[in-house]
A and B are shown apart, each in its own frame.
Chain A
Protein backbone atom coordinates (compact mmCIF):
# COMPACT_ATOMS: atom_id res chain seq x y z
CA UNK A 1 0.00 0.00 0.00
CA UNK A 2 2.86 2.34 0.63
CA UNK A 3 4.32 1.44 -2.77
CA UNK A 4 5.53 4.74 -4.11
CA UNK A 5 3.88 5.73 -7.32
CA UNK A 6 7.19 7.25 -8.38
CA UNK A 7 8.83 3.86 -8.14
CA UNK A 8 10.06 2.72 -11.53
CA UNK A 9 8.26 -0.36 -12.72
CA UNK A 10 9.25 -2.37 -15.75
CA UNK A 11 5.66 -2.16 -17.00
CA UNK A 12 4.08 0.65 -18.98
CA UNK A 13 0.63 2.15 -18.71
CA UNK A 14 -1.43 3.43 -21.63
CA UNK A 15 -4.86 5.01 -21.09
CA UNK A 16 -7.52 6.21 -23.48
CA UNK A 17 -9.95 8.96 -22.54
CA UNK A 18 -12.73 10.80 -24.29
CA UNK A 19 -16.46 11.34 -24.35
CA UNK A 20 -18.94 8.52 -24.76
CA UNK A 21 -19.14 8.04 -28.51
CA UNK A 22 -15.62 9.29 -29.20
CA UNK A 23 -14.57 5.83 -30.39
CA UNK A 24 -11.86 5.36 -27.76
CA UNK A 25 -13.02 1.87 -26.78
CA UNK A 26 -12.86 0.71 -30.40
CA UNK A 27 -9.35 2.08 -30.71
CA UNK A 28 -7.99 0.52 -27.52
CA UNK A 29 -9.64 -2.77 -28.43
CA UNK A 30 -7.83 -2.73 -31.78
CA UNK A 31 -4.56 -1.90 -30.03
CA UNK A 32 -5.09 -4.79 -27.67
CA UNK A 33 -5.72 -7.23 -30.53
CA UNK A 34 -2.72 -5.95 -32.42
CA UNK A 35 -0.33 -6.31 -29.49
CA UNK A 36 -1.75 -9.66 -28.45
CA UNK A 37 -1.45 -11.18 -31.90
CA UNK A 38 2.09 -9.86 -32.25
CA UNK A 39 3.02 -11.66 -29.03
CA UNK A 40 3.46 -8.96 -26.42
CA UNK A 41 2.81 -9.09 -22.68
CA UNK A 42 -0.27 -6.93 -22.70
CA UNK A 43 -3.31 -6.62 -20.46
CA UNK A 44 -6.56 -4.80 -21.03
CA UNK A 45 -8.37 -3.23 -18.07
CA UNK A 46 -11.80 -1.68 -18.17
CA UNK A 47 -13.12 1.14 -15.99
CA UNK A 48 -15.58 0.01 -13.34
CA UNK A 49 -15.11 -3.70 -13.47
CA UNK A 50 -14.43 -5.18 -10.04
CA UNK A 51 -17.21 -7.48 -8.94
CA UNK A 52 -17.63 -6.63 -5.29
CA UNK A 53 -17.74 -2.87 -5.64
CA UNK A 54 -19.86 -3.11 -8.75
CA UNK A 55 -22.74 -4.45 -6.69
CA UNK A 56 -22.68 -1.52 -4.30
CA UNK A 57 -22.41 0.90 -7.21
CA UNK A 58 -25.31 -0.69 -9.00
CA UNK A 59 -27.46 -0.63 -5.91
CA UNK A 60 -26.63 2.98 -5.15
CA UNK A 61 -27.35 4.03 -8.70
CA UNK A 62 -30.57 2.10 -8.96
CA UNK A 63 -31.98 3.60 -5.81
CA UNK A 64 -30.48 6.99 -6.50
CA UNK A 65 -28.85 6.98 -3.10
CA UNK A 66 -25.69 8.64 -4.26
CA UNK A 67 -24.62 12.22 -3.71
CA UNK A 68 -21.74 13.74 -5.73
CA UNK A 69 -19.36 12.86 -2.90
CA UNK A 70 -20.43 9.26 -2.41
CA UNK A 71 -20.70 8.78 -6.18
CA UNK A 72 -17.10 9.88 -6.45
CA UNK A 73 -15.91 7.79 -3.50
CA UNK A 74 -17.60 4.61 -4.58
CA UNK A 75 -15.90 4.84 -7.95
CA UNK A 76 -12.60 5.60 -6.26
CA UNK A 77 -13.09 2.48 -4.13
CA UNK A 78 -13.71 0.45 -7.23
CA UNK A 79 -10.69 1.91 -8.95
CA UNK A 80 -8.42 1.33 -5.93
CA UNK A 81 -9.51 -2.31 -5.83
CA UNK A 82 -8.73 -2.80 -9.50
CA UNK A 83 -5.54 -0.76 -9.30
CA UNK A 84 -4.00 -2.64 -6.39
CA UNK A 85 -5.24 -6.05 -7.40
CA UNK A 86 -4.62 -5.84 -11.12
CA UNK A 87 -2.97 -2.78 -12.63
CA UNK A 88 -0.15 -2.31 -10.11
CA UNK A 89 0.90 -5.99 -9.96
CA UNK A 90 0.89 -6.16 -13.77
CA UNK A 91 3.07 -3.07 -14.02
CA UNK A 92 5.48 -4.53 -11.54
CA UNK A 93 5.52 -7.81 -13.42
CA UNK A 94 6.49 -6.00 -16.61
CA UNK A 95 3.24 -5.85 -18.53
CA UNK A 96 1.94 -3.29 -20.94
CA UNK A 97 -1.38 -2.31 -19.36
CA UNK A 98 -4.10 -0.75 -21.49
CA UNK A 99 -6.86 1.14 -19.70
CA UNK A 100 -10.17 2.06 -21.26
CA UNK A 101 -10.76 5.19 -19.16
CA UNK A 102 -8.58 6.02 -16.19
CA UNK A 103 -8.61 8.50 -13.31
CA UNK A 104 -9.24 11.41 -15.70
CA UNK A 105 -12.74 10.10 -16.31
CA UNK A 106 -13.39 10.55 -12.60
CA UNK A 107 -11.72 13.96 -12.56
CA UNK A 108 -13.95 15.19 -15.38
CA UNK A 109 -17.22 13.62 -14.31
CA UNK A 110 -16.94 14.30 -10.58
CA UNK A 111 -15.84 17.90 -11.10
CA UNK A 112 -18.96 18.46 -13.20
CA UNK A 113 -20.93 17.08 -10.26
CA UNK A 114 -19.39 19.71 -8.00
CA UNK A 115 -16.58 17.83 -6.28
CA UNK A 116 -13.51 19.88 -5.52
CA UNK A 117 -10.84 19.37 -8.22
CA UNK A 118 -7.94 19.50 -5.75
CA UNK A 119 -9.67 16.96 -3.52
CA UNK A 120 -10.17 14.59 -6.48
CA UNK A 121 -6.50 14.78 -7.42
CA UNK A 122 -5.50 13.91 -3.88
CA UNK A 123 -8.06 11.14 -3.63
CA UNK A 124 -6.53 9.44 -6.67
CA UNK A 125 -3.01 10.45 -5.66
CA UNK A 126 -1.98 6.81 -5.26
CA UNK A 127 -2.49 6.08 -8.96
CA UNK A 128 0.38 6.28 -11.39
CA UNK A 129 0.10 8.80 -14.22
CA UNK A 130 0.07 6.86 -17.52
CA UNK A 131 3.12 6.78 -19.76
CA UNK A 132 0.78 7.72 -22.59
CA UNK A 133 -2.74 9.13 -22.32
CA UNK A 134 -4.58 9.31 -25.61
CA UNK A 135 -7.47 11.74 -25.66
CA UNK A 136 -9.92 11.17 -28.50
CA UNK A 137 -11.18 14.57 -29.36
CA UNK A 138 -14.50 14.89 -31.14
CA UNK A 139 -16.83 17.89 -31.38
CA UNK A 140 -19.64 17.59 -28.86
CA UNK A 141 -22.39 17.27 -31.43
CA UNK A 142 -20.63 14.49 -33.28
CA UNK A 143 -20.21 12.49 -30.04
CA UNK A 144 -23.79 13.14 -29.01
CA UNK A 145 -25.01 12.10 -32.46
CA UNK A 146 -23.22 8.75 -32.28
CA UNK A 147 -24.65 7.99 -28.84
CA UNK A 148 -28.14 9.31 -29.26
CA UNK A 149 -28.70 7.61 -32.58
CA UNK A 150 -27.45 4.20 -31.49
CA UNK A 151 -28.62 3.97 -27.89
CA UNK A 152 -31.60 6.12 -27.02
CA UNK A 153 -32.15 4.50 -23.58
CA UNK A 154 -29.97 6.70 -21.40
CA UNK A 155 -29.37 5.85 -17.76
CA UNK A 156 -30.07 8.26 -14.91
CA UNK A 157 -26.51 8.95 -13.74
CA UNK A 158 -25.03 8.60 -17.21
CA UNK A 159 -27.22 11.48 -18.33
CA UNK A 160 -26.33 13.51 -15.23
CA UNK A 161 -29.98 13.59 -14.20
CA UNK A 162 -28.90 13.94 -10.57
CA UNK A 163 -27.67 17.43 -11.43
CA UNK A 164 -31.15 18.54 -12.43
CA UNK A 165 -29.87 20.23 -15.56
CA UNK A 166 -33.08 19.50 -17.42
CA UNK A 167 -36.16 17.37 -16.80
CA UNK A 168 -35.64 15.91 -20.28
CA UNK A 169 -33.11 13.09 -20.10
CA UNK A 170 -31.69 13.64 -23.58
CA UNK A 171 -31.27 17.35 -22.99
CA UNK A 172 -29.68 16.64 -19.61
CA UNK A 173 -27.24 14.27 -21.32
CA UNK A 174 -26.29 16.94 -23.87
CA UNK A 175 -25.56 19.55 -21.22
CA UNK A 176 -23.75 17.06 -19.01
CA UNK A 177 -21.51 15.79 -21.81
CA UNK A 178 -20.72 19.36 -22.80
CA UNK A 179 -19.47 20.07 -19.30
CA UNK A 180 -17.50 16.83 -19.18
CA UNK A 181 -15.81 17.83 -22.45
CA UNK A 182 -14.85 21.21 -20.96
CA UNK A 183 -13.25 19.43 -18.01
CA UNK A 184 -11.30 17.11 -20.33
CA UNK A 185 -10.03 20.01 -22.39
CA UNK A 186 -8.77 21.72 -19.24
CA UNK A 187 -6.77 18.58 -18.42
CA UNK A 188 -5.02 18.24 -21.78
CA UNK A 189 -2.15 20.41 -20.68
CA UNK A 190 -2.24 19.57 -16.97
CA UNK A 191 -1.67 15.88 -17.60
CA UNK A 192 -0.01 16.01 -21.01
CA UNK A 193 -2.72 14.20 -22.97
CA UNK A 194 -1.84 13.24 -26.52
CA UNK A 195 -4.81 14.42 -28.55
CA UNK A 196 -6.10 12.22 -31.37
CA UNK A 197 -8.50 13.67 -33.90
CA UNK A 198 -11.47 11.33 -33.52
CA UNK A 199 -13.29 12.61 -36.59
CA UNK A 200 -11.00 10.58 -38.83
CA UNK A 201 -11.72 7.09 -40.15
CA UNK A 202 -11.19 4.28 -37.65
CA UNK A 203 -8.29 2.63 -39.48
CA UNK A 204 -6.55 5.95 -39.99
CA UNK A 205 -6.80 6.73 -36.26
CA UNK A 206 -5.54 3.25 -35.49
CA UNK A 207 -2.48 3.88 -37.65
CA UNK A 208 -1.75 7.06 -35.73
CA UNK A 209 -2.36 5.40 -32.37
CA UNK A 210 -0.02 2.52 -33.15
CA UNK A 211 2.69 4.90 -34.23
CA UNK A 212 2.29 6.96 -31.06
CA UNK A 213 2.61 3.84 -28.93
CA UNK A 214 5.70 2.68 -30.79
CA UNK A 215 7.28 6.08 -30.28
CA UNK A 216 6.51 6.21 -26.59
CA UNK A 217 7.04 2.61 -25.53
CA UNK A 218 9.94 0.27 -26.16
CA UNK A 219 7.74 -2.55 -27.41
CA UNK A 220 10.66 -4.95 -27.79
CA UNK A 221 10.83 -5.21 -24.01
CA UNK A 222 7.28 -6.54 -23.87
CA UNK A 223 7.79 -9.39 -26.31
CA UNK A 224 6.78 -12.62 -24.64
CA UNK A 225 9.58 -14.89 -23.59
CA UNK A 226 8.86 -18.55 -24.02
CA UNK A 227 10.45 -20.69 -21.41
CA UNK A 228 10.86 -24.36 -22.20
Chain B
Protein backbone atom coordinates (compact mmCIF):
# COMPACT_ATOMS: atom_id res chain seq x y z
CA UNK B 1 0.00 0.00 0.00
CA UNK B 2 1.37 3.37 -1.02
CA UNK B 3 0.94 6.31 1.30
CA UNK B 4 -1.33 8.96 -0.14
CA UNK B 5 -0.71 12.66 0.04
CA UNK B 6 -2.45 15.79 -1.18
CA UNK B 7 -1.18 18.68 -3.30
CA UNK B 8 -0.09 20.64 -0.27
CA UNK B 9 -3.10 21.27 1.94
CA UNK B 10 -4.74 18.83 4.33
CA UNK B 11 -8.21 17.63 3.44
CA UNK B 12 -10.36 18.25 6.50
CA UNK B 13 -11.56 15.07 8.17
CA UNK B 14 -9.72 12.59 5.94
CA UNK B 15 -7.01 10.30 7.34
CA UNK B 16 -4.73 9.67 4.38
CA UNK B 17 -3.05 6.70 6.08
CA UNK B 18 -6.28 4.75 5.78
CA UNK B 19 -6.46 5.05 2.00
CA UNK B 20 -5.13 1.72 0.85
CA UNK B 21 -6.50 1.77 -2.69
CA UNK B 22 -4.88 2.96 -5.90
CA UNK B 23 -5.95 6.10 -7.72
CA UNK B 24 -5.35 6.12 -11.45
CA UNK B 25 -6.31 9.14 -13.50
CA UNK B 26 -6.86 9.15 -17.22
CA UNK B 27 -6.62 12.70 -18.52
CA UNK B 28 -6.64 14.16 -21.96
CA UNK B 29 -8.47 16.53 -24.25
CA UNK B 30 -11.98 15.92 -25.54
CA UNK B 31 -12.25 12.97 -27.96
CA UNK B 32 -8.98 11.38 -26.87
CA UNK B 33 -10.87 8.16 -26.12
CA UNK B 34 -10.65 8.24 -22.34
CA UNK B 35 -13.98 6.63 -21.54
CA UNK B 36 -13.44 3.82 -24.05
CA UNK B 37 -10.10 3.01 -22.47
CA UNK B 38 -11.47 3.20 -18.94
CA UNK B 39 -14.20 0.70 -19.78
CA UNK B 40 -11.60 -1.72 -21.14
CA UNK B 41 -9.29 -1.22 -18.17
CA UNK B 42 -12.10 -1.80 -15.68
CA UNK B 43 -12.91 -5.09 -17.33
CA UNK B 44 -9.29 -6.18 -17.33
CA UNK B 45 -8.70 -5.15 -13.71
CA UNK B 46 -11.78 -7.00 -12.52
CA UNK B 47 -10.64 -10.11 -14.34
CA UNK B 48 -7.41 -9.79 -12.39
CA UNK B 49 -9.45 -9.72 -9.20
CA UNK B 50 -9.26 -6.03 -8.36
CA UNK B 51 -12.29 -4.17 -7.09
CA UNK B 52 -12.72 -1.23 -9.45
CA UNK B 53 -14.53 2.07 -8.99
CA UNK B 54 -15.01 4.39 -11.96
CA UNK B 55 -15.46 8.07 -11.31
CA UNK B 56 -15.78 10.97 -13.67
CA UNK B 57 -16.47 14.64 -13.59
CA UNK B 58 -20.15 13.95 -13.91
CA UNK B 59 -22.37 16.32 -12.00
CA UNK B 60 -22.94 15.34 -8.44
CA UNK B 61 -26.28 15.54 -6.74
CA UNK B 62 -25.02 18.43 -4.65
CA UNK B 63 -24.73 21.22 -7.19
CA UNK B 64 -25.59 19.34 -10.39
CA UNK B 65 -28.91 20.90 -11.36
CA UNK B 66 -27.78 24.41 -10.45
CA UNK B 67 -24.61 24.00 -12.43
CA UNK B 68 -26.51 22.74 -15.43
CA UNK B 69 -28.90 25.67 -15.27
CA UNK B 70 -26.12 28.17 -14.86
CA UNK B 71 -24.31 26.73 -17.87
CA UNK B 72 -27.39 26.85 -19.99
CA UNK B 73 -27.99 30.49 -19.22
CA UNK B 74 -24.24 31.18 -19.21
CA UNK B 75 -24.83 33.58 -16.35
CA UNK B 76 -21.96 32.90 -14.01
CA UNK B 77 -18.62 34.63 -14.03
CA UNK B 78 -15.66 32.34 -14.80
CA UNK B 79 -14.57 32.45 -11.19
CA UNK B 80 -17.98 31.51 -9.87
CA UNK B 81 -18.33 28.72 -12.41
CA UNK B 82 -14.84 27.53 -11.48
CA UNK B 83 -15.74 27.43 -7.80
CA UNK B 84 -18.97 25.61 -8.59
CA UNK B 85 -16.88 22.95 -10.34
CA UNK B 86 -14.46 22.84 -7.42
CA UNK B 87 -17.35 22.26 -5.01
CA UNK B 88 -18.58 19.49 -7.24
CA UNK B 89 -15.10 17.98 -7.47
CA UNK B 90 -14.52 17.89 -3.72
CA UNK B 91 -18.00 16.49 -3.19
CA UNK B 92 -17.07 13.59 -5.46
CA UNK B 93 -13.63 13.25 -3.96
CA UNK B 94 -15.00 12.97 -0.43
CA UNK B 95 -18.08 10.91 -1.25
CA UNK B 96 -16.86 8.58 -3.98
CA UNK B 97 -13.10 8.55 -4.39
CA UNK B 98 -12.05 8.59 -0.72
CA UNK B 99 -14.46 5.84 0.40
CA UNK B 100 -13.37 3.64 -2.52
CA UNK B 101 -9.70 4.20 -1.72
CA UNK B 102 -10.39 3.45 1.92
CA UNK B 103 -11.97 0.17 0.88
CA UNK B 104 -8.90 -0.73 -1.16
CA UNK B 105 -10.38 -0.26 -4.64
CA UNK B 106 -8.54 0.62 -7.78
CA UNK B 107 -10.17 3.92 -8.68
CA UNK B 108 -10.19 4.84 -12.36
CA UNK B 109 -10.87 8.53 -12.73
CA UNK B 110 -12.02 9.87 -16.07
CA UNK B 111 -10.37 13.32 -15.77
CA UNK B 112 -9.36 14.94 -12.54
CA UNK B 113 -8.39 18.38 -11.28
CA UNK B 114 -6.17 19.01 -14.31
CA UNK B 115 -9.06 19.42 -16.73
CA UNK B 116 -10.85 21.67 -14.26
CA UNK B 117 -7.74 23.75 -13.78
CA UNK B 118 -7.07 24.04 -17.52
CA UNK B 119 -10.63 25.15 -18.20
CA UNK B 120 -10.53 27.75 -15.44
CA UNK B 121 -7.16 29.13 -16.50
CA UNK B 122 -8.21 29.40 -20.15
CA UNK B 123 -11.17 31.43 -18.91
CA UNK B 124 -8.90 33.88 -17.16
CA UNK B 125 -8.38 32.54 -13.64
CA UNK B 126 -4.95 33.10 -12.11
CA UNK B 127 -3.02 29.78 -12.27
CA UNK B 128 -1.71 30.11 -8.69
CA UNK B 129 -5.21 30.73 -7.35
CA UNK B 130 -6.60 27.75 -9.23
CA UNK B 131 -3.79 25.51 -7.98
CA UNK B 132 -4.43 26.58 -4.39
CA UNK B 133 -8.15 25.83 -4.69
CA UNK B 134 -7.31 22.26 -5.73
CA UNK B 135 -4.39 21.83 -3.34
CA UNK B 136 -6.40 19.48 -1.11
CA UNK B 137 -6.87 16.96 -3.91
CA UNK B 138 -5.26 13.57 -3.40
CA UNK B 139 -2.18 13.00 -5.55
CA UNK B 140 -2.97 10.05 -7.85
CA UNK B 141 -0.69 7.02 -8.02
CA UNK B 142 -0.44 7.71 -11.75
CA UNK B 143 -1.80 10.22 -14.24
CA UNK B 144 -1.97 9.04 -17.84
CA UNK B 145 -2.37 11.88 -20.27
CA UNK B 146 -3.68 10.77 -23.62
CA UNK B 147 -2.19 12.87 -26.38
CA UNK B 148 -4.01 13.22 -29.64
CA UNK B 149 -3.44 15.50 -32.61
CA UNK B 150 -5.95 18.27 -33.03
CA UNK B 151 -6.83 16.98 -36.53
CA UNK B 152 -7.69 13.55 -35.16
CA UNK B 153 -9.66 15.13 -32.32
CA UNK B 154 -11.71 17.13 -34.81
CA UNK B 155 -12.45 14.01 -36.85
CA UNK B 156 -13.48 12.02 -33.81
CA UNK B 157 -15.70 14.82 -32.58
CA UNK B 158 -17.62 14.93 -35.84
CA UNK B 159 -17.76 11.13 -35.99
CA UNK B 160 -19.51 10.88 -32.64
CA UNK B 161 -21.58 14.05 -32.40
CA UNK B 162 -21.99 15.33 -35.96
CA UNK B 163 -21.95 18.84 -34.53
CA UNK B 164 -19.77 20.91 -32.26
CA UNK B 165 -20.59 21.32 -28.59
CA UNK B 166 -20.93 24.88 -27.22
CA UNK B 167 -18.64 24.28 -24.24
CA UNK B 168 -16.14 22.00 -25.99
CA UNK B 169 -15.83 24.77 -28.54
CA UNK B 170 -15.26 27.32 -25.82
CA UNK B 171 -17.97 29.55 -27.27
CA UNK B 172 -18.28 31.31 -23.90
CA UNK B 173 -14.66 32.47 -24.13
CA UNK B 174 -15.20 34.99 -26.91
CA UNK B 175 -12.37 33.57 -29.04
CA UNK B 176 -14.35 33.74 -32.26
CA UNK B 177 -17.96 33.97 -33.39
CA UNK B 178 -17.17 31.20 -35.82
CA UNK B 179 -17.81 27.83 -34.15
CA UNK B 180 -15.09 25.87 -35.89
CA UNK B 181 -12.48 28.55 -35.41
CA UNK B 182 -13.48 28.87 -31.77
CA UNK B 183 -13.25 25.09 -31.30
CA UNK B 184 -9.74 24.99 -32.74
CA UNK B 185 -8.52 27.98 -30.74
CA UNK B 186 -10.11 26.76 -27.52
CA UNK B 187 -8.74 23.23 -27.82
CA UNK B 188 -5.28 24.66 -28.54
CA UNK B 189 -5.43 26.81 -25.44
CA UNK B 190 -6.55 23.89 -23.28
CA UNK B 191 -3.72 21.75 -24.65
CA UNK B 192 -1.21 24.43 -23.94
CA UNK B 193 -2.38 24.55 -20.29
CA UNK B 194 -2.11 20.76 -20.05
CA UNK B 195 1.37 21.02 -21.50
CA UNK B 196 2.39 23.48 -18.79
CA UNK B 197 1.12 21.06 -16.12
CA UNK B 198 2.94 18.00 -17.48
CA UNK B 199 6.07 18.18 -15.37
CA UNK B 200 4.60 19.66 -12.22
CA UNK B 201 1.92 16.98 -12.00
CA UNK B 202 4.01 14.12 -13.40
CA UNK B 203 1.81 13.20 -16.36
CA UNK B 204 2.74 10.00 -18.16
CA UNK B 205 2.05 10.58 -21.82
CA UNK B 206 0.13 8.01 -23.82
CA UNK B 207 -0.03 8.33 -27.58
CA UNK B 208 -3.76 8.10 -28.29
CA UNK B 209 -3.47 8.49 -32.06
CA UNK B 210 -3.19 4.69 -32.28
CA UNK B 211 -5.87 2.02 -32.42
CA UNK B 212 -8.02 1.34 -29.38
CA UNK B 213 -6.34 -2.03 -28.84
CA UNK B 214 -2.83 -0.61 -29.06
CA UNK B 215 -3.59 2.12 -26.51
CA UNK B 216 -5.24 -0.44 -24.24
CA UNK B 217 -2.17 -2.71 -24.33
CA UNK B 218 0.08 0.21 -23.55
CA UNK B 219 -2.06 1.34 -20.60
CA UNK B 220 -2.34 -2.17 -19.16
CA UNK B 221 1.41 -2.57 -19.12
CA UNK B 222 1.94 0.71 -17.34
CA UNK B 223 -0.89 0.21 -14.86
CA UNK B 224 0.46 -3.22 -14.00
CA UNK B 225 3.70 -1.53 -12.96
CA UNK B 226 1.78 0.91 -10.76
CA UNK B 227 -0.09 -1.94 -9.07
CA UNK B 228 3.11 -3.96 -8.56
CA UNK B 229 4.72 -0.93 -7.02
CA UNK B 230 1.74 -0.38 -4.73
CA UNK B 231 1.84 -3.97 -3.55
CA UNK B 232 5.48 -4.03 -2.56
CA UNK B 233 6.16 -0.89 -0.56
CA UNK B 234 7.61 -2.95 2.29
CA UNK B 235 10.28 -4.58 0.16
CA UNK B 236 11.08 -1.25 -1.42
CA UNK B 237 11.50 0.39 1.92
CA UNK B 238 13.75 -2.40 3.11
CA UNK B 239 15.82 -2.21 -0.04
CA UNK B 240 16.24 1.53 0.33
CA UNK B 241 17.20 1.15 3.95
CA UNK B 242 19.91 -1.30 2.95
CA UNK B 243 21.31 1.06 0.39
CA UNK B 244 21.48 3.78 3.02
Binding site for B on A (CB under 8 A): 1-2, 52-53, 55-56, 59-60, 65-70, 73-74, 76-77, 80-81, 84-85, 113-116, 118-119, 122-123, 125-126
Contacts and interface: CB of A to CB of B under 8 A. Distances in A.
Contacts of A122: 129, 132-133, 135
B244 interface: no
B62 A77 contact: no
Contacts of B75: 52
B87 A73 contact: yes
Contacts of B136: 69, 116, 119
Contacts of A67: 12-13, 90-91, 94
Contacts, number: 94
B124 interface: yes
A56 B90 contact: no
Contacts of B76: 52, 81
A56 B63 CA distance: 5
A74 B63 contact: yes
B86 interface: yes
B56 to A, nearest CB: 18
B83 interface: yes
B124 A1 contact: yes
B123 interface: yes
Interface residues of B, number: 33
A69 B133 CA distance: 11
B22 to A, nearest CB: 23
Given A2-B126, A123-B132, A125-B129, A70 B79 contact: no
Given A53-B84, A84-B80, 20 more contacts: A1-B77, A1-B124, A52-B70, A53-B80, A56-B63, A60-B63, A66-B62, A68-B12, A70-B94, A73-B86, A73-B87, A77-B80, A80-B77, A84-B79, A114-B13, A116-B9, A119-B135, A122-B129, A122-B135, A126-B129
10 smallest CB-CB distances across A and B, nearest first, come from A114-B12, A122-B132, A77-B83, A73-B87, A1-B124, A68-B12, A84-B77, A81-B80, A56-B66, A56-B63
B80 A70 contact: no
Interface string B67-80: 00110000111111
B163 interface: no
A52 B69 contact: yes
A59 B62 contact: yes
Contacts of B45: none
Interface in B131-155: 132-133, 135-136
Given A55-B66, A56-B63, A56-B66, A76 B12 contact: no
Given A68-B12, A119-B132, A119-B136, A73 B123 contact: no
Contacts of A81: 76-77, 80
B125 interface: yes
Nearest to B10: A116
A74, A76, A118: most-surrounded residue (chain B CB, <10 A):
A74
B223 interface: no
A201 to B, nearest CB: 41
B61 interface: yes
A125 B132 contact: yes
Contacts of B66: 52-53, 55-56
